Structure 1
């Protein structure tokens, strides 16, 4: 597939995410929340594994595409409701991305592969699904862990960190330990992992 198709797909994904009404301030600049997340995912992927396929690159950018359109509050506020919301979100992200990729001129095989990755199928067994999961976890640890630190007690946080760690590959673990954490968050991570 041509470079222009890839560039068009990325531009259209960004255009969708730029419509997010939720804003996040980073380094004194306000961004649409999911556009910022998408940019972080792509930058981390290219830093972590620059030879990633176009399929993984697009899946990384589109991981949370238009997420604000499906609110957590529209599902039961229990564990079952949460899991159903997450499962439906994956399908929604995959379908939204597939529509963009069709418009960009990608074939059915390429689109099916991107959908497979966005839905995180065969984690631990499919190398590209695992690569995407590593990037998701690295972005979470670098940019979003602090939000959880503000909201949860130490035991809950350790549980979140352990669950995140178990989803990652050894390469992901090595990259995570190089993140410039605050002293308190690094101590929390080391305690959770018994390092």
Structure 2
């Protein structure tokens, strides 16, 4: 098996699934399926943050939100427990779908299982690759989604979210976050949350 082509084909397969997202987002004045764009942003940030990332990690980053629209948040109670159940169900779906696409491209069962572990966030803080994935998720959130998210929530809630996000990240993740080109108001909010 040519691993490079298996990787490329798996990433393409993930993009094909995500290109079916009915939710659209503007990027450079062009409408793009939301999760297709998210997956590509995850891959770009991973390549910058961890250029030597394994194929498992590259696939997990691209598949982080694969077919996310299929399990809407509105299907769950609008409380903390409902939110956590939704996130758990999403993680399982993302992991299973990514593993299925990997097997279709000739990856071994061990390879598929490893990627599932990453997508389910097993052993976070104890598994270096899982921590790297979490750092990349947080960096992509801060870089692309933080400002819009902040516009919909109170400053107090945002300070709490920043602190929770920061707690999930490694020291390398913190350093990369502080180098992001954030709007002045967002950077001020981050600094306030961390002071």
SS at match of 2:32: strand
Equivalent in the alignment of 1:149: 150
Q: CA–CA distance in 2 between the matches of 1:166 and 1:142?
A: 17
Equivalent in the alignment of 2:126: 125
Q: CA–CA distance in 1 between the matches of 2:150 and 2:82?
A: 24
Structure 1 stretches lacking a partner, 5+ long: none
Range that drifts further, 135-144 or 73-82: 73-82
Q: Does residue 32 of the first structure (1) align with residue 33 of the second (2)?
A: yes
Q: CA–CA distance in 2 between the matches of 1:101 and 1:177?
A: 35
Q: Does residue 85 of the first structure (1) align with residue 86 of the second (2)?
A: yes
Kindly state the Cα deviation for residue 3 of structure 1 after the two structures are TM-superposed. 1.2
Q: Does residue 66 of the first structure (1) align with residue 83 of the second (2)?
A: no
Deviation readout 1:60-81 (Å, 9 max, x if unpaired): 0000000000001111111111
Provide the aligned C-alpha RMSD in A: 0.7
Question: 1:1-195 counterparts in 2 under 5 A?
Answer: 2-194=3-195
Deviation readout 1:131-187 (Å, 9 max, x if unpaired): 000000000000010111111111100000000000000000000000001111111
Range that drifts further, 161-170 or 23-32: 23-32
Which runs of structure 1 show a deviation greater than 3 angstroms over 4 or more consecutive aligned residues?
none
TM-score normalised according to structure 1 size: 0.98
Q: CA–CA distance in 2 between the matches of 1:131 and 1:184?
A: 27
Query: For this pair of structures, how many residues does the alignment match?
Result: 194
Kindly state the Cα deviation for residue 26 of structure 1 after the two structures are TM-superposed. 1.7
Q: CA–CA distance in 1 between the matches of 2:10 and 2:27?
A: 25
Q: CA–CA distance in 2 between the matches of 1:172 and 1:69?
A: 30
Q: CA–CA distance in 1 between the matches of 2:188 and 2:50?
A: 27
SS at match of 2:26: strand
Structure 2 stretches lacking a partner, 5+ long: none
Q: CA–CA distance in 1 between the matches of 2:147 and 2:27?
A: 13
Q: CA–CA distance in 2 between the matches of 1:78 and 1:130?
A: 27
Q: CA–CA distance in 2 between the matches of 1:16 and 1:152?
A: 31
Kindly state the Cα deviation for residue 93 of structure 1 after the two structures are TM-superposed. 0.4
Q: CA–CA distance in 1 between the matches of 2:80 and 2:175?
A: 31
